[in-house]
Structure 1
């Protein structure tokens, strides 16, 4: 399996677990857990990775899933498909749009952003 899938998979899982994808993200998470359990339901390591995804680093969960995909080309293809579809879903839920119209008077900066981790400083108070 292409190792570049791990960061994509981790980002998608993180967005879904973090609630960024909303209701559609819940559906994507359900489809991933179904995919993993259908293929590896009898393997405690991979099913535990899914079950504990919210309490461990997402990169670790993504790596465990990707490791299994390395040895199973059919699963790898399903995982690639899921990642691509889910990445588009998560990306579409992050679109941000501001509209300033009518009699609005702007006297300072206008900031448009998606997720912010940390502070935003627009200058001196």
Structure 2
């Protein structure tokens, strides 16, 4: 399982993507961890702290457990696939620059970006 994909999905859910469906998906992930590892487990604690926690760290914890537990790996992979579909269906992006906007530098319009954007050695022509 790719921790980057799982972190992206967790981040989207923590950010409120997918509305009620996202809340339901989050509840099901939390229940999955609690049922498998216990209510007081590090996995459940990481999910409980998610809004304040590092989504990459949370994903890493879950992926580590999945690597050691084939049953959990299967459940987590299924959850990830289904939740990814929910997020994809419910996530619309609209980027607009209009009116008297003055752009000084680079503008990047996109949906979700997971990772960095490298503009390389490109220099801003206005500087």
TM-score band (shorter)?
0.7 to 0.9
- Structure 1 residue 86 displacement after superposition: 0.3
1: distance between equivalents of 2:67 and 2:112?
32
2: distance between equivalents of 1:43 and 1:7?
25
In structure 2, relative to structure 1, the CA distance for the partners of 1:42 and 1:94 (3 Å cut) is: closer
Counterparts of 1:34-113 in structure 2, within 5 Å, are 34-41=31-38, 44-96=41-93
Cα root mean square deviation, aligned: 2.5
- Structure 1 residue 95 displacement after superposition: 2.8
Unmatched tracts of structure 2, length 5 or more: 101-108, 114-127
1:15 paired to 2:21: no
Which structure has more RCO (C-alpha within 8 Å, separation ≥ 6)?
1
In structure 2, relative to structure 1, the CA distance for the partners of 1:33 and 1:42 (3 Å cut) is: closer
Q: How many residues align?
A: 104
* TM-score, length basis structure 1: 0.72
In structure 2, relative to structure 1, the CA distance for the partners of 1:107 and 1:40 (3 Å cut) is: closer
User: Residues 34 and 41 of structure 2 are in contact (CA less than 8 Å); yes or no, is this contact kept in structure 1?
Assistant: no
* TM-score, length basis structure 2: 0.71
- Structure 1 residue 21 displacement after superposition: 1.4
Structure 1 stretches of 4+ with a deviation exceeding 2 A read 95-98, 112-116
- Structure 1 residue 92 displacement after superposition: 1.1
In structure 2, relative to structure 1, the CA distance for the partners of 1:114 and 1:45 (3 Å cut) is: same
